[in-house]
């Protein structure tokens, strides 16, 4: 949010809902909740609305590790295939489009890593020690 941007009624409603959630979870007393609700309705800018939520945990979603993994896999797939196509182009682009095989193999690997289950086999358990 930009601090000097004017706040809309929808922004005020969103902040009121967040305050209600924090009150219901016990983070705010009734007096604090009412004071902050009054501040919310008086707020003219988004910066003022952000100050109403001071000292409260953010409700904004964070990027999950799975999303990061997807991006990383997609980036690897694109880079590998781009290199293969560029090698084909700069070597004269004669004959069959051989990078299709790189595309197919990396696509199989991409889908297996993206959708497949990773079964990691750990070391077998140690046998019990004899006295």
Contacts of 25 (CB under 8 A, 6+ apart): none
Residues 42 and 74 in one domain: no
> Is residue 123, in this structure, part of any structural domain at all?
no
Q: Do 40 and 70 belong to one domain? A: no
Q: Which residue has the higher pLDDT, 118 or 21?
A: 21
Identify whether the C-beta of residue 49 lies closer than 8 Å to the C-beta of residue 15. Answer: yes
Q: What is the mean pLDDT of residues 36-47?
A: 93
- Within a domain: residue 121? no
Residue 31 within a domain: yes
What domain range includes position 81? 65-115
- 71 and 45 co-located in one domain: no
State the pLDDT at residue 63.
56
User: What's the structural domain count of the chain?
Assistant: 2
pLDDT in tens, 61-111: 555 666 677 788 889 999 999 999 999 999 988 889 999 999 999 999 888
> Based on the domain organization, do 20 and 47 belong to the same domain?
yes
Could you tell me if 48 and 76 lie in one domain? no
Q: Find the length of the chain.
A: 131
Q: What pLDDT sits at residue 101?
A: 94
Residues 40 and 72 in one domain: no
In percent, how much of the chain has pLDDT > 90?
53
State percent of the chain over pLDDT 70.
86
pTM of the model: 0.45
Q: Calculate ∠ Cα 99-74-62, nearest 5°.
A: 175
């Amino acid at each position: 949010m930009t601090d000097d941007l004017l706040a809309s009624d929808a922004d005020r409603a969103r902040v009121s809902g967040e305050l209600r959630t924090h009150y219901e979870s016990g983070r705010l007393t009734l007096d604090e909740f009412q004071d902050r609700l009054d501040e919310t309705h008086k707020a003219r800018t988004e910066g003022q609305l952000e100050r109403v939520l001071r000292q409260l945990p953010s409700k904004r979603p964070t990027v999950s590790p799975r999303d990061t993994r997807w991006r990383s896999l997609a980036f690897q797939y694109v880079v590998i295939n781009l290199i293969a196509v560029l090698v084909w182009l700069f070597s004269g682009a004669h004959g069959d489009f051989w990078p299709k095989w790189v595309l197919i193999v990396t696509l199989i690997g991409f889908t297996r890593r993206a959708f497949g289950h990773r079964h990691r086999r750990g070391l077998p358990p140690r046998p019990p020690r004899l006295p």
